[in-house]
């Protein structure tokens, strides 16, 4: 789908049917999918973030509370990316002066984990305001606001996390600024075993480690792997997926930021993972596996290894989330 | 398919059933498929090369004649790549001393055209000896000999032409020396409109123009395009194929060797081609099109343009060849 020439002011919003409140979950995401730097990513069933959104009388958009961020995220509605994106959307719809919205953000996932934390929050917020308004926008029309949220949060407007968070499944983002997003089929038994070691790797630093220029020979290896991975996903060929999921470009630079990276990799591959690599810019790592059992075993062994080296960690074992964000029953 | 641990000496050759003669056609190929430098390629129905092979009493492999090469190819059986590869195969089978083979090579396509001329000849020769012997080898087992032929002919053992020439259809070659060849589905209406301008671009020179290092940002664009192309081929999504088939890495360097390249590109794209680019290392160019009619129109207009600029050319309009080499009825 080539995305969006928005004429949002032509959207009809029926103020009589706007909901009073809505609760939305949006999934964490594994950007890059090991070999597809800046173009591939997938969503997972857990973790993810939650937004509760309330319609109120006083016009404007406000953050009512944030839970689970350790106080790191701004409550100022113009600085918080969730509320800022919601404001932007309401402004483009021409109704920012006419509606009041308050947001509770419940973070179920760590910030700076390499799991698309900001994307999950932004997508949850935008999916929530759209649901509150009676879904006037398609997901494709919501996408540019999600990307803008990434620009606010990370300093660059990449879609590699927001695309799978919003669309669900495995997404290919090609065309850079043109934002051409292609859904790739999800093999049924594909599981992600994610381990988030408690070390800090800021995204900006991780990007700075990457060199501007790469050897053409490495690039050829990488795009052969990417083509093999896409073909393997279409054919549900787990062996081809496994042979193809190698990153010769980014991993060598970024792995040095992640303690025990190569030991974890050895554990993952020797215990049956199809592939192992960095999730986004890290420090989370992901063992892509065939079946839940392998993912469970691999993540447990990696956690044991980290623990023996004095590093605490979280783990998440999850199928690929094919749905993207969803409205949850409201619990006060 | 991960290719081949050959134990060819274990193959049983029944000398009583070896054919007296066989005639084989192998197709020309369009390597790179515009955006997939060194990894993608496809075979076409025409042009292609032909080998007639005869069993004779005197042991050894000899070239009886070559037609259509303008006297450029060696008749010496150790220097001619077709016979050299046939010898290598017979040697690995342990029967080189026991069988006599003579080869007529009929070239129906120009040498140095960027259409995999040497690959077509080598594949035809190896397919012919295998057919003569009663097909003891699978195509996968023949592949390393085809690659060796490329090494002899071009100085480097790439499979981007021989893989589609031997396997037919669209092939992905990943893994470099490990030679992991993946067949990609062929959309039914995909046609190639090829124009071969009568100018000389030696493959070795064309390779030397390419820089050792590339910008990571360009590489990301390219692998996004490659992933989009593979997805488009699986989904028969001609628009996605068209959006994805752009080469930002190799074309800018090589296009300068091909007179009127950008004028031809403009003609192709403005007349409905999905994409336009260099076939292999040129000077042939290819307009990838949906349907035969578009390919016919585009190639005719390109030929008219070249002619008006004093450049003669050949054209070939062809569906993607999905079969690869084939045995033809023998005509003396």
- Boundary residue ending a domain (A138, A166, A182): A182
Q: Which site among A207, A212, A219 would you substitute to test the B interface, given the most B Cβ atoms closer than 10 Å to its Cβ?
A: A219
Shared-domain flag, residues B231 and B171: no
Does residue A131 sit in the same domain as residue A107? yes
Q: What CATH number is attached to the domain comprising B219?
A: 3.30.70.890
What would the two tokens of residue B318 be? 């062809």
Tokens 């150790």 label which residue? B78
Query: How far apart are the C-alpha atoms of B230 and B217, rounded to whole Å?
Result: 20
Phi, psi at A324, each rounded to 5°: 80, -150
Question: Tokens 């090469």, residue?
Answer: B69
Q: Please state the length of chain B.
A: 332
DSSP A2: B
Inter-CA distances, B126 with A86, A312, B2, B23, B53, Å? 65, 59, 20, 12, 10
Phi, psi of A283, rounded to the nearest 5 degrees: -80, 0
**Are A63 and A205 within one domain?**
no
**B281 and B178 within one domain:** no
Q: Has residue B1 been placed in a domain? A: no
Question: Can you read off the two tokens belonging to residue A62?
Answer: 């406000």
Residue spans of alpha helices (H) in A106-211: 117-132, 139-154, 162-167, 203-208
B120 assigned ligand-binding residue: yes
Contact predicate B128/B105, CB 8 Å: no
Note down the domain range covering A106: 8-182
Nearest to B159 by CA among B126, B124, B190, B116: B116
- Which residue did the predictor score with more confidence, B24 or B71? B24
Residue B260 pLDDT greater than 80, yes or no? yes
DSSP state of B278: E
B90 and B212 fall within a common domain: no
B98-151 pLDDT, tens digit each? 999 999 999 998 888 899 999 999 999 999 999 999 999 999 999 999 999 888
Q: For chain B, what is the radius of gyration of the CA atoms?
A: 20
* Total structural domains within chain A: 2
Q: Are B34 and B247 in contact (CB under 8 A)?
A: yes
Q: Chain B: nearest CA to A327, how far in angstroms?
A: 30
Residue B110 assigned to a binding site: yes
| Same domain, residue pair A32 and A155 | yes
Listed residue (A153, A156, A191, A171) closest to A324, CA to CA: A171
Task: Yes or no: say if A166 and A127 are a contact pair by the CB < 8 Å rule.
Answer: yes
User: What span, in angstroms and rounded, lies between the C-alpha atoms of B258 and A217?
Assistant: 24
Parts of chain A with a pLDDT under 70: 1-6, 176-177, 201-207, 332
- Please judge whether A231 and B228 are an interchain contact, meaning their C-beta atoms are less than 8 angstroms apart: no
Cα dist. A139→A11, A180, A232 in Å? Answer: 14, 13, 27
* Residue B171, domain CATH: 3.30.230.10
- Residue to mutate among A158, A187, A209, A227, with most B CBs inside 10 A, is A227
- Whether A6 and A150 have beta carbons less than 8 Å apart is answered as no
pLDDT tens, residue by residue, B39-75: 999 999 999 999 999 999 999 999 999 999 888 999 9
Q: Is B312 part of the annotated catalytic residue set?
A: no
Picking from B180, B184, B227, the nearest residue to A243 by CB comes out as B180
Pairing between strand A285-290 and A190-197?
A: antiparallel
Q: Are residues B45 and B147 in the same domain?
A: yes
Residue of B171, B152, B148 lying closest to B160 (CA atoms): B171
Asked if B223 lies within 8 A of A221 by C-beta distance, the reply is: no
pLDDT attached to residue A202? 64
Q: How confident is the model at residue B4 (pLDDT cuts 50, 70, 90)?
A: very low
The arithmetic mean of pLDDT across residues B266-275, rounded, is 98
* One domain for residues B140 and B219: no
Q: Tell me which chain B residues have a C-beta less than 8 angstroms from the C-beta of A184.
A: 231
Count CA atoms closer than 13 A to A132's CA, side-chain side. 26
Q: B275 Cβ partners below 8 Å, 6+ apart? A: B34, B241, B242, B245, B246, B269, B287, B288
A241 → chain B, closest CA residue: B182
The chain-wide mean pLDDT, for chain B, equals 92
Instruction: State the pLDDT confidence band at B2, using cuts at 50, 70 and 90.
Output: very low
């Amino acid at each position: 789908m080539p995305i969006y020439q928005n004429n949002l002011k032509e959207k009809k919003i029926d103020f009589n049917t706007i909901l009073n409140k809505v609760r939305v979950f949006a999934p964490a995401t594994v950007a890059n999918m090991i070999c597809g730097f800046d173009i591939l990513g997938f969503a997972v069933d857990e973790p993810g973030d939650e937004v509760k959104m309330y319609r109120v009388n006083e016009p404007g958009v406000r953050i009512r509370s944030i839970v689970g961020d350790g106080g790191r995220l701004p409550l100022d509605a113009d600085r918080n990316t969730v509320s800022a994106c919601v404001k932007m959307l309401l402004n483009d719809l021409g109704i920012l002066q006419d509606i009041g919205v308050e947001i509770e953000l419940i973070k179920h996932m760590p910030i700076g984990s390499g799991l698309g934390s900001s994307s999950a929050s932004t997508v949850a917020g935008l999916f929530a305001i759209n649901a509150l308004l009676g879904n006037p926008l398609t997901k494709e029309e919501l996408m540019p606001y999600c990307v803008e949220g990434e620009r606010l949060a990370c300093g660059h407007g990449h879609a590699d996390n927001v695309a799978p968070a919003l669309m669900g499944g495995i997404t290919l983002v090609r065309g850079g600024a043109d934002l051409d997003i292609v859904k790739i089929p999800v093999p049924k038994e594909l599981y992600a075993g994610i381990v988030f070691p408690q070390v800090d790797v800021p995204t900006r630093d991780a990007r700075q480690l990457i060199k501007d220029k790469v050897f053409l020979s490495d690039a050829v290896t990488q795009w052969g792997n990417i083509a093999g991975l896409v073909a393997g996903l279409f054919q549900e060929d787990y062996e081809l997926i496994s042979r193809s999921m190698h990153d010769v470009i980014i991993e060598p630079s970024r792995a040095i930021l992640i303690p025990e990276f190569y030991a974890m990799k050895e554990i993952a591959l020797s215990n049956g993972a199809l592939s192992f690599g960095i999730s986004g810019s890290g420090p989370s790592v992901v063992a892509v596996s065939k079946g839940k059992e392998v993912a469970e075993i691999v993540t447990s062994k990696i956690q044991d290894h980290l623990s023996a080296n004095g590093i605490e960690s979280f783990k998440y074992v999850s199928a690929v989330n094919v749905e993207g964000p969803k409205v949850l029953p409201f619990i006060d």
